[in-house]
Structures are given as structure tokens and as C-alpha cells.
């Protein structure tokens, strides 16, 4: 038995690993179809809405600032999360037991990369807001080059974090260390993953608490003297509120899942973590659904840009339809004109024949 645990099983299907952990979380067929249908609708909204956020930042010059570039990168991570959820939904239930080890690594890797990218983006945005607020400016002085380097760094770290289990930190060669929630992930990795993310959550909360206390103190000092200038400085406060709502939604949606991962890593047999898995996944999906709604609700300029984009799409669609509609009578008129020419020539020929 000990020799079997120490031998590697890269060629086994996932059914072997689910049998190893004695997983009994079987999906009812009706329940699975319902989850796939509802999940697909959510994912379509995630993909379309986050694509619109990225398009809004690109097309509107008022968004050409470091904060909005980082916000669009956060939308890109949510867009990737939408793709990951689609792949997960159609590779879950009984299908997941038929996956290869590489297929399972891909399924989980997409989720881990999207989560890491979202978390890293929120941390970078928190630092950008801290720099701008401490200088009492709407936007920080980060150059486009530095913002680009930050975005590249975010994705490099995220891809590495998502690839760590496939690079060797797994239990394929040590079955006794396998977790319940991820049958080929080692429990030590789940502890590292959950604790590191919870620590980043704590760091971001501390940063925003520092920002909040600074803004409150600064506002109370300036209000008796320059009430008019405070109104002009409300924009950075609005941006902070937007990010704080996004961060709050992220923490609420992901903290329960990270705590359950930590309990699984600590080998809590009485916690029944497998039964909670599907509901925690639903919470994660809702977070990616909520973010574009928060952007548009808290930022009037973003909402107006969304409406302009939808109007342009609608006008473009109507223009295509009118072009097609106008093309049909034009071609028929040409056909009518061409059909009249032979008749006129025939009349001339008839007159010539009569004269002769």
C-alpha cells in the first residue's frame, strides 16, 4: 500500500484519483443541466460586460489614466474567469472523472490564473490609489510604460501561480497527501494558496483603511477654509469608493471558498467540504458578474460610455440592414433598365423593317 502511494500515476484518469479520496459528490442529471444553463447565461454576461469595460477604456480618452488601465486589466481577468467557468461547467460531474491529468490541470489552472490575476490587479490598484490620494490627486503620476510593466508582471505572477501544481506541487506521486476538493492537488499546496490569498486580502484592507483615515482627516482640515475646492476633489474619493466596493464584493465572494480550502488543506474530515464546493463556485461566478455592474453604477462616465457603445452597435446593425435593403431595389432597377434596352432596339428594328 505504501509503495502504491509513493509511485506516480500520471497516466491514470481522474476517476482513479476520485476513487482514492472516496469522493461521493455525484451530480443529479437535472441539477447538472440546470447549473449548466444558468451558468452559461451568467458566463455570457461576464464575457460581454467585461469586454465592454475594456472597449470603454480604449475608446474614451477620459479613461486614459493609470487607474482605468488597471481597471480594464481587472476586467480582462474577469473575462478569463468567464472562459474558465464555461470550461469548468462542461467538464464537471461524471465528465470530470473521465478527464486526463493534463485536462484537470488545465481546468483548475484557468481558474487559479483568473483568481490570481484579479487579486494581483486589486492589490496594484490599491497601491495606485494610495499614491494618488497621498499626493491629493485624482490620478497618480505613473507613466504608461510603468503601468504596462505592472500589467505584464501581474499576468506573469498569475500564470506562474496557476501552473505551480502542474510543475510538481501535487500528490500524483503521493496519494496519501491528496485533498478532497482537488483530488490531484496536495493539501500543503491548498494551505499555501489559501493563506497567501487571505494575507493579500488583509493587506488590501489595511491599505484602504489607511486611505480612508487620511482622506477623512484631510477633508476635515480643508472644509472650513476651502469648501469650493473640496468639491473639485471629490473625483478621487469617488474612485476610491468604486474600488472599495469592488474589493468588498471580492472579499465576500472569495473568503468562504478560501477558508474551506484551508480546512481541506488541514485535513478537516468532519467539515464536509465537498458538499460546499458547488455553492462556493456559484459565489465566485457572482463576483465576476457583479464587477461590471459596480463599475457602471458607481462611475457615471463609464455608464455613459456603455450606452454610447450600445448605441454605436445598434446604429451599425441598422446601417447594415438599410444597406442590404437599398441594394435590392437598386439591383432590380438596373435589371429593369437593362430589360428596356432590348425592347427599344427591337422597336427600331421594327421601324427599319417597315420602312424597307
Q: What are the sequence ranges of the domains in the chain? A: 14-219+236-310
N- to C-terminal Cα separation, the chain: 114
Non-local (6+) Cβ contacts of 6 within 8 A are 173, 174
Which residues sit opposite 178 in a β-bridge? 186
CA distance 82 to 74: 13
Q: Measured between alpha carbons, how far is 133 from 214 in angstroms, rounded to an integer?
A: 8
Cell numbers at 81, concatenated: 474567469
pLDDT digits (tens, 9 = 90+) for 18-37: 888 886 666 777 777 877 88
Identify any residues that bridge with 186 across adjacent strands, giving them in sequence order: 178
pTM (global) more than 0.95: no
Query: Model confidence over 77-100: pLDDT tens digits?
Result: 999 999 999 888 888 877 888 889
Output DSSP code: residue 186. B
Quickly count: other Cβ atoms within 10 Å of residue 224's Cβ: 7
Mean pLDDT over 267-284 rounds to 79
Tens of pLDDT, residue by residue over 67-82, are 899 999 999 999 999 9
pLDDT-derived band at 108, boundaries 50, 70, 90: very high
Which of the two residues, 138 and 43, has the higher pLDDT score? 43
Query: Which of 182, 163, 156 has its CA nearest to residue 18?
Result: 182
Nine-digit cell at 325? 435593403
pLDDT at 15: 87
What average pLDDT is seen over the chain?
Answer: 80
Angle between helices 101-134 and 144-163 (to 10 degrees): 150
- Read off the pLDDT band of 354 (50, 70, 90): very low
pLDDT at 79: 94
Query: Does residue 341 carry a pLDDT above 60?
Result: no
Task: Find the range with the poorest average confidence among 77-91, 210-224, 239-253, 318-332.
Answer: 318-332
pLDDT, residue 323, reads 62
How confident is residue 134, by pLDDT bands cut at 50, 70 and 90?
A: confident
- The Cα 296–Cα 93 span in angstroms is 35
pLDDT value for 159: 95
Tens digits of residue pLDDT in 154-195: 999 999 999 999 998 999 988 888 988 889 999 999 999 999
Separation of alpha carbons 206 and 152, rounded Å: 25
- Is pLDDT of 122 > 50? yes
| CB distance 154 to 92 below 8 Å | no
Q: Is pLDDT above 90 for 47?
A: yes
What mean pLDDT is predicted for residues 33-54? 88
List, in order, residues 6 or more apart from 140 with CB less than 8 Å away: 66, 67, 128, 131, 132
The topology (CATH level 3) of 14-219+236-310 is Rhopdopsin 7-helix transmembrane proteins (1.20.1070)
- What is the separation of C-alpha 129 from the centre of its chain, rounded to a whole number of angstroms? 21
Among 252, 274, 227, 294, residue whose Cα is nearest residue 75 = 294
Cell readout for 302 is 463609464
Q: What is the pLDDT of residues 235-267, one digit of tens each?
A: 567 777 778 888 888 889 888 989 988 998 888
Amino acid at each position: 500500500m505504501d509503495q502504491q502511494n509513493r509511485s506516480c500515476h500520471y497516466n491514470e484518469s481522474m476517476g482513479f484519483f476520485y476513487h482514492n479520496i472516496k469522493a461521493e459528490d455525484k451530480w443529479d442529471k437535472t441539477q447538472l443541466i440546470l447549473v449548466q444553463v444558468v451558468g452559461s447565461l451568467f458566463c455570457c454576461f461576464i464575457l460581454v460586460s467585461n469586454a465592454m469595460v475594456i472597449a470603454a477604456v480604449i475608446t474614451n480618452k477620459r479613461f486614459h489614466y493609470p487607474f482605468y488601465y488597471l481597471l480594464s486589466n481587472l476586467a480582462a481577468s474577469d473575462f478569463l474567469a468567464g472562459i474558465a467557468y464555461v470550461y469548468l461547467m462542461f467538464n464537471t460531474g461524471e465528465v470530470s472523472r473521465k478527464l486526463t491529468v493534463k485536462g484537470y490541470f488545465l481546468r483548475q489552472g484557468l481558474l487559479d490564473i483568473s483568481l490570481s490575476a484579479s487579486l494581483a490587479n486589486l492589490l496594484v490598484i490599491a497601491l495606485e490609489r494610495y499614491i494618488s490620494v497621498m499626493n491629493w490627486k485624482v490620478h497618480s503620476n505613473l507613466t504608461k510604460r510603468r503601468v504596462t510593466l505592472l500589467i505584464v508582471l501581474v499576468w506573469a505572477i498569475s500564470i506562474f501561480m496557476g501552473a505551480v501544481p502542474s510543475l510538481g506541487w501535487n500528490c500524483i506521486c503521493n496519494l496519501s497527501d491528496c485533498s478532497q476538493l482537488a483530488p490531484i492537488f496536495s493539501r500543503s499546496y491548498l494551505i499555501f494558496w489559501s493563506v497567501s490569498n487571505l494575507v493579500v486580502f488583509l493587506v488590501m484592507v489595511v491599505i484602504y483603511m489607511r486611505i480612508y483615515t487620511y482622506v477623512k482627516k484631510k477633508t476635515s482640515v480643508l472644509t472650513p477654509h476651502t469648501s469650493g475646492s473640496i468639491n473639485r476633489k471629490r473625483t478621487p474619493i469617488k474612485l476610491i469608493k468604486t474600488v472599495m466596493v469592488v474589493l468588498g464584493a471580492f472579499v465576500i465572494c472569495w473568503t468562504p471558498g478560501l477558508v474551506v480550502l484551508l480546512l481541506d488543506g488541514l485535513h478537516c474530515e468532519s467539515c464536509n467540504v465537498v458538499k460546499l464546493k458547488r455553492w462556493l463556485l456559484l459565489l465566485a461566478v457572482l463576483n465576476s458578474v457583479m464587477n461590471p455592474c459596480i463599475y457602471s453604477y458607481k462611475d457615471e462616465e463609464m455608464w455613459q460610455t456603455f450606452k454610447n457603445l450600445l448605441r454605436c452597435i445598434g446604429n451599425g446593425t441598422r446601417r447594415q440592414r438599410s444597406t442590404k435593403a437599398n441594394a435590392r431595389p437598386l439591383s432590380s432597377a438596373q435589371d429593369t433598365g437593362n430589360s428596356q434596352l432590348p425592347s427599344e432596339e427591337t422597336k427600331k428594328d421594327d421601324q427599319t423593317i417597315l420602312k424597307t
